[in-house]
Structure 1
Amino acid sequence: MSANHDPASGSLAAASGFDVLSDVLRCVRLTGSMLFLVDARSPWMSWAPKADAFRRVALPDSQHLVSYHVVTQGGCWAGLRDAESERFETGDVLVVPHGDAYFLADSPDTPAAYGPEEAVDFFRSMAAGEMPSVVSEGGEGAERAQFICGFLGCDRRPLNPVLDALPPMIHLRSAVRPDDRMGHLISFALCELREPSSGGRGVRLRLAELMFVEVVRRYLETVSGASAGWLAGLHDPLVARTLALLHASPARHWTLEALAAQAGSSRSVVAERFAHFVGQAPMQYLTQWRMQLASRLLAEPGARKVAAVAEAVGYESEAAFSRAFKKCVGMAPSAWRMRGAG
């Protein structure tokens, strides 16, 4: 549908209850890559290099790799490499959103037992399904820890507002609550990992996605009082309404005046609050989000013609769309389609 054909009267209704977080996670192509369980005995240290070092062997079609770890038994120390470590207890979650090198260990002083090449070889074998779903680590000491390792691929550009809003490392404390979603997911994952069965690999990859989404939702709760950031903006009524309007009807011919009217505020207030939380003007955000939608459409098998993609994201002119896409992404839509999204 052309942007000019999107009825203004239906925009607020379309945005009412619109799940912006789900829309973003869908459009950035969140894809499970690996899920396995580590059973570690002291002394032990498990570490991963920067994600770019093993992303192409783990999930070659993905732009970016996110890792997270859920401590299911015992405790450990963890953190980014060359940074101060933190103590993790049963139920805590470590998230490394931006691909930094990191570690988990029984003690901050425990040395690594393998190097970068061995680490990449491990991820290559695990991604290929050549490794067991439960991995033993460390020595024969009395102290024991277990943790689930999850890895996911996603798009990073043109725009991934969830990823951009996350810090280099997240430590969610006591993420497992009695009778809650995360607890059920962890129990399901442990069952699948310890007792592999037919179709288990596919189930584990979906579980990797579900557990990460639940982690993001938990983190969203912790930023409810934050002063700025895209995720914090979801807690601000005006910014949340504005985001919902843009995501519900990205192809509409939006203006700041129309957006403010639909959001129920003035132009200046919408512009100020949106920029404060999101870090850019509403129309600039809309352009980048349209390019994210377009990049996904262009990368799909049997993708539509560029003109059809342009119309789908709100451009009546293929030339105008191509100029905007190249300015945002750095290459023409046809070139993006040929090289894929990787």
Structure 2
Amino acid sequence: MSHAPHLPSDLISELLTGMRLHGVQYRRIQTGPTFGLGFPPKPGHAYFHYLAVGTATLRGEDGSQHLLSAGDVVLLPRGEGHALLSGENHPVQCLETIDAAPLGDTVSGIDTCPSTHAVPSAVLFHGCMVFDLGGMQGLSKVMPAVMLADGNGTQFPGLLPMVDAMKREVCSGRIGFAGILARLADAVAAMIVRDWVERGCDGASGLVMAMRDPRLSLSLLALHKDPGRDWTVEALAAESNISRSVFADRFQTVIGTAPLRYVTELRMQLASQWLTHHQSLSIEVVAERLGYASQAAFSRAYKRVMGHSPGATRRGRSLISP
């Protein structure tokens, strides 16, 4: 398979460093020979599935089907509704209506395997979480609905030992397995995203094109590393080693927005994530980190971009659930 030109490694590192899975709730699921599990749409979230034992068909909302076998990992970064089935026409039951037994702080167990079957036909590890790409959050909108990794294939070097470790943890249920599985899932999801980015993001435009631009990528990297700096168009252009006018025109053409508007939107994305997931950071501290001289100036910019106040985001963080 021919790969598109790779993105600069520094930008890929920045993307993966900022990637977080928040509010994760995992389920260890084992089934009999026939099953149909439904997963409702979860905007702003991602679904993660690892099939440890057996086979299944993943059916998307659009009717598309993906055949899964033991060792396969699936990431649905936009949280679209779907089903996992033993057969094409098997009835589907929403997973959220099935009783689950707690196995840890963030993991529960579901067992639909009939008592007449000594061994489950399928065993899988499922997660639903807030999918946070930090300052690169715009990339989630252009990711494929379904990102499939064959844990036994050659496309993902290094994935096989992690998948083997996940299988051991899923099947053994040893003490502390929940925390180990969560960390392995973080790493596997990052590998899937990295592969997609390295392959050129399937030709996605806008931010991805800018990341591949040898000039614009320099200013983007500097901006994402230090979003609180007093950025001007001149300063961004200097990072790209081109004139202000050429930089502004190229930035507008490739990304579709003016440079300073992009700076403000990036800051507000970061602010929203910090306010939602980092209770210890006050609004004043967030404003200071993002380069605002006063909390009032920050709040005005935040409301203009996000449509509500920073305080409303902070108050609503407890309402976020997978």
TM-score band (shorter)?
A: 0.7 to 0.9
- Are 2:205 and 1:248 aligned? no
Alignment partners' CA distance in 2, 1:129 and 1:166: 27
- Are 2:235 and 1:258 aligned? yes
Q: In the alignment, what sits opposite 1:34? A: 25
Alignment partners' CA distance in 2, 1:229 and 1:127: 42
Deviations 1:244-302 (A, max 9, x none): 11111111121222212211234455445545554433322211221133334445334
- Are 2:150 and 1:174 aligned? yes
Alignment partners' CA distance in 2, 1:225 and 1:301: 36
What's the RMSD between the two structures over aligned residues? Answer: 3.7
Alignment partners' CA distance in 2, 1:182 and 1:302: 35
Residues 90 and 292 (structure 1 numbering): CA distance in 2 closer, same or farther, change over 3 Å?
same
Contact 1:165–1:230, Cα closer than 8 Å, also in 2: no
Alignment partners' CA distance in 1, 2:36 and 2:291: 51
Contact 1:16–1:244, Cα closer than 8 Å, also in 2: no
Q: In the alignment, what sits opposite 1:295? A: 272
Which 4+ runs in 1 deviate beyond 6 A? 156-159
Alignment partners' CA distance in 1, 2:123 and 2:137: 31
Residues 88 and 297 (structure 1 numbering): CA distance in 2 closer, same or farther, change over 3 Å?
closer
Alignment partners' CA distance in 2, 1:234 and 1:137: 48
Alignment partners' CA distance in 2, 1:135 and 1:195: 15
Where does structure 2 lack aligned partners over 5 or more consecutive residues?
A: 1-7
* The 10-residue stretch of structure 1 (264-273 or 244-253) with the greater mean CA deviation from structure 2: 264-273
TM-score (ref. length: structure 1): 0.73
Alignment partners' CA distance in 2, 1:189 and 1:176: 13
RCO comparison, higher one (Cα < 8 Å, 6+): 1
**Structure 2 counterpart of 1:328, from 302, 305, 320:** 305
Q: In the alignment, what sits opposite 1:43? A: 34
- Are 2:90 and 1:110 aligned? yes
SS of residue in 2 equivalent to 1:148:
strand
Alignment partners' CA distance in 2, 1:301 and 1:254: 27
Contact 1:33–1:151, Cα closer than 8 Å, also in 2: yes
Alignment partners' CA distance in 2, 1:248 and 1:235: 17
Residues 263 and 49 (structure 1 numbering): CA distance in 2 closer, same or farther, change over 3 Å?
same
Contact 1:34–1:205, Cα closer than 8 Å, also in 2: no
- Summarize the alignment of residues 33-112 of structure 1 with structure 2, pairs less than 5 Å apart: 33-51=24-42, 64-112=44-92
TM-score (ref. length: structure 2): 0.77
Alignment partners' CA distance in 2, 1:78 and 1:122: 22
Contact 1:44–1:105, Cα closer than 8 Å, also in 2: yes
Q: In the alignment, what sits opposite 2:15? A: 21
Which amino acid in structure 2 is aligned with residue 204 of structure 1?
L
SS of residue in 2 equivalent to 1:265:
coil
Q: In the alignment, what sits opposite 1:337? A: 314
SS of residue in 2 equivalent to 1:160:
helix
Contact 1:49–1:101, Cα closer than 8 Å, also in 2: yes
Which amino acid in structure 1 is aligned with residue 304 of structure 2?
K
Contact 1:175–1:218, Cα closer than 8 Å, also in 2: no
Residues 171 and 213 (structure 1 numbering): CA distance in 2 closer, same or farther, change over 3 Å?
closer
Shift of 1:183: 1.4
Contact 2:143–2:201, Cα closer than 8 Å, also in 1: no
- Are 2:270 and 1:318 aligned? no
Contact 2:71–2:163, Cα closer than 8 Å, also in 1: no
Contact 1:46–1:137, Cα closer than 8 Å, also in 2: no
Contact 2:25–2:106, Cα closer than 8 Å, also in 1: no
State, as a whole percentage, how many aligned pairs show the same letter. Answer: 26
Where does structure 1 lack aligned partners over 5 or more consecutive residues?
A: 1-14, 53-63
Residues 235 and 41 (structure 1 numbering): CA distance in 2 closer, same or farther, change over 3 Å?
farther
- Are 2:137 and 1:160 aligned? yes
* The 10-residue stretch of structure 1 (236-245 or 67-76) with the greater mean CA deviation from structure 2: 67-76
Which amino acid in structure 1 is aligned with residue 137 of structure 2?
N
- Summarize the alignment of residues 138-149 of structure 1 with structure 2, pairs less than 5 Å apart: 144-149=121-126
SS of residue in 1 equivalent to 2:302:
helix
SS of residue in 1 equivalent to 2:300:
helix
SS of residue in 1 equivalent to 2:239:
helix
Alignment partners' CA distance in 2, 1:119 and 1:96: 18
Residues 82 and 338 (structure 1 numbering): CA distance in 2 closer, same or farther, change over 3 Å?
closer
Contact 2:134–2:273, Cα closer than 8 Å, also in 1: no
SS of residue in 2 equivalent to 1:202:
helix
Contact 1:37–1:146, Cα closer than 8 Å, also in 2: yes
